[in-house]
């Protein structure tokens, strides 16, 4: 009987994407915590260390679009499983660079570049999963959970890596991160499927809910073929969210790459205090990702996606710039840490909007389009990894944060150009709040027939 048992498989898989997101940032941020030890062991300057940080981000940026296209063609399950295995290998290799080897800087750059290339698949694959598994009215909170993993992984990294470094050395911390990645990837491969219809655990009622909830985005222009690249690059929505995400990435990666070193070297906090206060921005990111996803869905249902997706993002990024500008002026190291953490949290209130909009407008090509968008993010991230210490060395760390605050304003203004109802696959869809409210209640004949068949099997 239909409705006798409603499963929630989609939310378990969203949770596991949260875990994989956390692992990916564990693998990225660990080197920023171990950076001081690596710089000392290999005689690297901050500028050289910045090149190592940037190498991961360059590899990550260059393979975003490729990773998204792979997820579109082969599905998020296999692509992401291979990617996680790749991360584990190159995280381990980071710890295997001999201390007395010539050309250590080049080796670190190469290893971190290849690690970044492997990590490029995670969020485009996750967005392809969102497009296939998650109803339109749940995409904000689903993306909120996935990107809360950023805050969780980056927030736990300072404590975990600092503890391991103190007791076992920095190399052992990379081995631990590698093993965690292998285990998380194995669980994903065993439990995930590319579509709800392929998963034996999805009940008939959950399948109907998923399909009916996706009808708003798909029924009016539902071709399953991938959107031509020409149409993608001519879209002002794609370019606007990409430019905004460039600004977002530049700002966010000041926290991922340099915040720990900033608190220790510039603000004068000791190792343990730096580790504690470095957690604050990432905990704020975790909370605000979830809060932003919830607000995103509620506002979208109430006022439509132009307000729920776009206005929320513009407001949040602008507020982040204000926090960062003010925090850079505060004299107290501890108070500055709290204010700057507020800026990181405000920034991440907008995270769901980027990925929900690309899933809304791109449909079956959401992996490719979100990968294109995320390329902009990672170019900004790679730029800040190298440019921030350069600005700080010549003009001071306050100037570095003020540049980030100015980019927040640019990123917020970009959202004024975005119309999330202008779908790439066809004509502009009606995106009234009423349709978003009713989308979770609609079902077509195919979904009904499939649900009846699954219930009787």
Q: Residue 307 sits in a domain of what CATH number?
A: 1.20.1250.20
Based on its alpha-carbon atoms, the radius of gyration of the chain, rounded to whole angstroms, reads 22
Whether residue 300 contacts residue 437, with contact meaning beta carbons closer than 8 Å, is answered with no
Three-state secondary structure call for residue 225: coil
Read off the DSSP letter of residue 100. Answer: T
CA distance 390 to 203: 55
* Domain membership flag for residue 162: yes
* Domain membership flag for residue 207: no
Half-sphere exposure of 335 (CA within 13 A, CB side): 5
CA distance 426 to 10: 28
How much helix, strand and coil, in percent to the nearest 5, is found in the chain? 80, 0, 20
Residue for token pair 């919830």: 294
pLDDT of residue 4: 53
Instruction: List, in order, residues 6 or more apart from 200 with CB less than 8 Å away.
Output: none
Q: What is the pLDDT along the chain (457 residues), one digit of tens a residue?
A: 444 577 899 999 999 999 999 998 888 778 877 877 888 888 888 778 878 888 888 888 888 888 888 988 899 999 999 999 998 999 999 888 887 788 888 999 999 999 999 998 998 899 889 888 988 888 888 988 998 888 788 778 777 888 888 888 888 888 998 999 999 999 999 999 999 999 999 999 988 888 887 654 454 444 456 778 788 888 999 999 999 999 999 999 888 777 777 777 777 776 667 767 777 888 888 899 899 989 998 998 888 888 988 999 999 999 999 999 998 888 787 888 888 889 999 999 999 899 888 888 887 788 888 889 988 988 888 788 778 888 888 888 889 889 999 999 999 999 999 988 887 765 454 444 544 444 444 434 444 444 444 444 4
pLDDT of residue 416: 93
pLDDT of residue 407: 96
CA distance 368 to 70: 8
Instruction: Record the pTM.
Output: 0.74
In terms of DSSP H, where are the helices of 192-270? Answer: 204-218, 229-233, 236-257, 259-261
- The count of domains in the chain is 1
Structure tokens at 33: 């915590």
CA distance 155 to 152: 5
* Domain membership flag for residue 423: yes
Read out DSSP for 52-111?
Answer: HHHHHHHHHHHTHHHHHHHHHHH-HHHHHHHHHHHHHHHHHHHTTS-TT-TTHHHHHHHH
Residue for token pair 């009016």: 220
Whether residue 29 contacts residue 157, with contact meaning beta carbons closer than 8 Å, is answered with yes
* Domain membership flag for residue 222: no
* Domain membership flag for residue 29: yes
pLDDT of residue 21: 92
In terms of DSSP H, where are the helices of 95-138? Answer: 104-119, 122-133
CA distance 112 to 433: 45
Segments forming the whole domain that contains residue 335: 12-194+231-439
In the chain, what is the straight-line distance between the N-terminal and C-terminal CA atoms, in Å? 11
* Domain membership flag for residue 355: yes
Read off the DSSP letter of residue 421. Answer: T
CA distance 105 to 177: 22
CA distance 54 to 47: 10
* Domain membership flag for residue 213: no
pLDDT of residue 219: 44
pLDDT of residue 272: 67
Half-sphere exposure of 19 (CA within 13 A, CB side): 17
* Domain membership flag for residue 225: no
């Amino acid at each position: 009987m239909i409705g006798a048992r409603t499963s929630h498989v989609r939310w378990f898989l969203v949770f596991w994407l949260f875990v994989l997101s956390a692992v990916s940032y564990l693998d990225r941020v660990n080197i920023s915590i171990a950076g001081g030890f690596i710089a000392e062991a290999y005689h690297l300057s901050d500028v050289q260390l910045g090149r190592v940080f940037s190498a991961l981000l360059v590899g990550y940026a260059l393979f975003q679009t490729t990773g998204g296209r792979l997820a579109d063609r082969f599905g998020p399950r296999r692509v992401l499983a291979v990617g996680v295995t790749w991360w584990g290998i190159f995280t381990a290799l980071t710890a295997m660079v001999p201390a007395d080897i010539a050309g250590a800087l080049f080796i670190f750059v190469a290893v971190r570049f290849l690690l970044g290339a492997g990590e490029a698949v995670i969020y485009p694959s996750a967005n392809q999963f969102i497009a296939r598994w998650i109803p339109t009215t749940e995409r904000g909170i689903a993306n909120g959970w996935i990107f809360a993993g950023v805050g969780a992984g980056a927030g736990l990294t300072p404590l975990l890596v600092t503890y391991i470094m103190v007791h076992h050395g920095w190399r052992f911390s990379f081995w631990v991160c590698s093993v965690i990645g292998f285990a998380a990837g194995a669980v994903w491969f065993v439990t995930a499927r590319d579509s709800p219809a392929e998963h034996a655990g999805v009940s008939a009622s959950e399948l109907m809910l998923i399909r009916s909830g996706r009808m708003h985005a798909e029924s009016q222009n539902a071709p399953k073929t991938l959107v031509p690249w020409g149409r993608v690059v001519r879209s002002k929505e794609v370019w606007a969210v990409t430019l905004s995400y460039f600004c977002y990435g530049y700002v966010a990666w000041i926290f991922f790459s340099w915040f720990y070193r900033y608190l220790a070297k510039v603000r004068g906090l000791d190792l343990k205090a730096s580790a504690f206060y470095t957690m604050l921005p990432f905990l704020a990111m975790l909370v605000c990702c979830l809060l932003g996803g919830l607000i995103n869905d509620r506002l979208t249902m109430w006022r439509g996606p132009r307000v729920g997706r776009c206005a929320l993002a513009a407001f949040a990024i602008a507020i982040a710039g204000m926090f960062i500008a003010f925090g850079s002026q505060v004299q107290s190291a501890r108070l500055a840490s709290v204010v700057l953490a507020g800026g990181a949290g405000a920034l991440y209130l907008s995270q769901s909007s980027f990925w929900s909009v690309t899933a809304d407008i791109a449909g079956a090509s959401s992996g490719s389009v979100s990968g294109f968008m995320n390329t902009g993010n990672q170019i900004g991230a790679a730029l800040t990894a190298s440019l921030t210490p350069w600005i700080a060395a010549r003009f001071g760390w306050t100037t570095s944060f003020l540049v980030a605050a100015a980019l927040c304003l640019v990123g917020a203004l970009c959202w004024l150009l975005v119309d999330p109802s202008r779908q790439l696959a066809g004509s502009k869809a009606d995106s009234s709040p009423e349709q978003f409210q009713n989308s979770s209640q609609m079902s077509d004949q195919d979904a009904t027939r499939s649900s009846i068949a699954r219930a009787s099997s």
